[in-house]
Chains A and B, each alone.
Chain A
Amino acid sequence: MHEAAPVNPFVALAYLVAGVCFILALRGLSSPTTSRRGNRLGMIGMGIAIVTTLVTHEIASLAEILVAIVIGGVIGFVIARRIAMTAMPQLVAAFHSLVGLAAVLVAAAAFLNPGAFGIVGADGEILPVSRIEMGLGVAIGAITFSGSVIAFLKLNGNMSGKPILLPARHLINLGTLAAILALIGLWTAAATPDAWMFWTVTALAFAIGFLLIIPIGGADMPVVVSMLNSYSGWAAAAMGFTLGNTAMIVTGALVGSSGAILSYIMCRAMNRSFISVIAGGFGAAGGGDAGAAATDRPWKRGSAEDAAFLMKQADQVIIVPGYGMAVAQAQHALREMADMLKEEGVTVKYAIHPVAGRMPGHMNVLLAEANVPYDEVFELEDINSEFAQTDVAFIIGANDVVNPAAKTDKSSPIYGMPVFDVNKAKTVLFIKRSMGGVGYAGVDNDVFYQDNTMMLLADAKKMVEEIVKNLG
């Protein structure tokens, strides 16, 4: 059996260097110009952590480990190369599920062979403090896994994006959470801990991850994906405590805070509390009625020809993309349109709402993919004052984020959410598939019926392509 290895200062130093590399990797993302260097540092940090672990442990069979790394590496690399940019939210959710599962399996391996991890106490049992860490690690890891699987299925369209509401779900969830915590406590306090406690915690945590995410609707997924990102970090940190490994603790803390901040940013951008998003059920009711009432009001329909003409005459056009652009894969056609407008001397800018799309920064990646320079893309607070001096606001696949009801109608479910003041632009061009559907929040949008609004009813990509033809 292995003794707990005495801590070699050089080993501790190597893990610390790896941790610092990870901090610098995130720091690099403060600007696109430094981001790639940051990513390379992240890779170096990971390399240091892996090599350090391999050279400082007695290895029964190195070949097996290398084969495992190569198998995983090839799979990961191929996925990363082939995945479509529009599928990035699903991919991130799937990757989160792997981190969660990895945390569970590491905790299980530590449970089965605690000697290898140096966490056995004098009485031959796992140290109580390690039991707390492992219990929390396995629970958070399991929640991350099953929650991310559900998020993946919803984002990938294998499962309806609609909230699924179980009766008494809050009671079930809180009861399960309490049971998990109580069992971890029991397991820690027991003089001769029973194995069933550890495995029951694992099973309950898998169940709650599933239960927590099914009632949450598709458009709240940015918050969910960020939250699960955060959990995957806390799970890694908990296992880092068990192993006394600085690189894991630093990384876990970084990832945990990162996900928490992203969730906070998303919630703020919807003016909803984190609790209300996690409680779920948003957008489950009301959509039908509001949609039906909408058809009575007069609205103007435009053609691609009208749109091309209006934009050609404009000094400035602001494009507001939303999830619909991603669904229609319209980003390349959109950039082509913008290029032609620029040739006509029109200033073109893009306005991105923090919750546009299905994950933080989703729209920015798609526009970058279509070669839109990032300095033409602006955040909400930086561009919102410009709509009043803009000739055309071009809305493609967005809805709730341009709804003035968020400012004026106190009874609206989206009241208080920061929105683009597109109604202040001289003309609004609104691409939408049909007048029937309303946004995720299920509320009607006054912008549709404004005198200066022209509805362009079609698939986003086809409409933009038509406009491009008319510009040529």
Chain B
Amino acid sequence: MDFISILSIFVLACFVGYYVVWSVTPALHTPLMAVTNAISSVIIVGALIAAAAAGSPQAKWLGLLTVVLASVNIFGGFAVTERMLAMYKKKER
């Protein structure tokens, strides 16, 4: 993809992020941080490419190490968010 297309996606996504995040209720700001943390681990995609490629053994091991780190984040982040969200209950009436 050329740089301008990528940049367009990025700028538009910033605007989407701006409006979506303002609509998040303040009561859920901690889960918001936990889940954004989990999804930013999508950087695992880069780690997988490095780990999958032949060519540089150093890059491969860095890649594998990063896959471990990012997996901690992905599984930990989503699980802890799920745990928190399960606690929010409405009044029983």
Tell me the complex Cα distance, A174–B34, Å: 31
Could you tell me if B16 and A364 are in contact, using CB atoms closer than 8 angstroms? no
Tell me the complex Cα distance, A344–B79, Å: 38
Instruction: Bits for B52-84, please: 1 = Cβ < 8 Å to A, else 0.
Output: 111110111011111111111111111111111
Q: CB < 8 Å: which of B31, B38, B68 contacts A29? A: B31
Q: How far is the CB of B71 from chain A (nearest CB, A)?
A: 3
Task: Return the chain B residue nearest A88 by Cβ.
Answer: B30
Could you tell me if A253 and B13 are in contact, using CB atoms closer than 8 angstroms? yes
Could you tell me if A113 and B85 are in contact, using CB atoms closer than 8 angstroms? no
The reply on A247 being an interface residue by CB < 8 A is: yes
Could you tell me if A239 and B46 are in contact, using CB atoms closer than 8 angstroms? yes
Interface size on B, residues (CB 8 A): 82
Q: CB < 8 Å: which of A73, A256, A261, A373 contacts B90? A: A373
| Residue among B17, B35, B75, B90 with most chain A CB within 10 A | B17
Q: How far is the CB of A381 from chain B (nearest CB, A)?
A: 10
| A256-B14 in contact given A26-B35, A80-B83 (Cβ < 8 Å) | yes
Could you tell me if A251 and B32 are in contact, using CB atoms closer than 8 angstroms? no
| A254-B17 in contact given A25-B35, A95-B73, A110-B46 (Cβ < 8 Å) | yes
Q: CB < 8 Å: which of B40, B51, B55 contacts A1? A: B55
Could you tell me if A102 and B26 are in contact, using CB atoms closer than 8 angstroms? no
Contacts of B29 in A (CB 8 A): 262, 265, 359-361, 364
Could you tell me if A72 and B75 are in contact, using CB atoms closer than 8 angstroms? yes
Task: Return the chain B residue nearest A269 by Cβ.
Answer: B26
Instruction: Bits for A42-80, please: 1 = Cβ < 8 Å to B, else 0.
Output: 110110011001100111100011001111111111011
Could you tell me if B37 and A232 are in contact, using CB atoms closer than 8 angstroms? yes
- Interface stretch of the complex, out of A15-23, A316-324, A447-455: A15-23
Q: CB < 8 Å: which of B53, B75, B76 contacts A116? A: B53
| A243-B46 in contact given A45-B39, A365-B84, A374-B88 (Cβ < 8 Å) | yes
The reply on A431 being an interface residue by CB < 8 A is: no
| A102-B44 in contact given A57-B52, A69-B71, A109-B63 (Cβ < 8 Å) | yes
Instruction: Bits for A212-247, please: 1 = Cβ < 8 Å to B, else 0.
Output: 000000000000011001001101110111111111
- Other A-B pairs beyond A95-B37, A106-B43, A379-B27, 20, CB < 8 Å: A23-B17, A26-B24, A39-B78, A46-B78, A76-B77, A76-B79, A77-B79, A99-B41, A101-B69, A105-B47, A106-B46, A109-B60, A112-B58, A116-B59, A243-B45, A253-B17, A354-B26, A360-B33, A361-B26, A368-B87
What is the interface of chain A, defined by CB distance below 8 A to chain B? 1-2, 7, 12, 18-19, 22-23, 25-27, 29-33, 35-36, 38-39, 42-43, 45-46, 49-50, 53-54, 57-60, 64-65, 68-77, 79-81, 83, 85, 88, 91-92, 95-96, 98-99, 101-103, 105-106, 108-110, 112-113, 115-117, 129, 225-226, 229, 232-233, 235-237, 239-259, 261-262, 265, 352, 354, 359-362, 364-365, 368-369, 371, 373-377, 379
17 A-B pairs (CB sep. < 8 Å): A29-B24, A31-B25, A32-B90, A46-B41, A58-B52, A79-B80, A81-B83, A98-B72, A236-B43, A237-B10, A246-B9, A248-B45, A252-B13, A262-B21, A360-B26, A371-B89, A373-B92
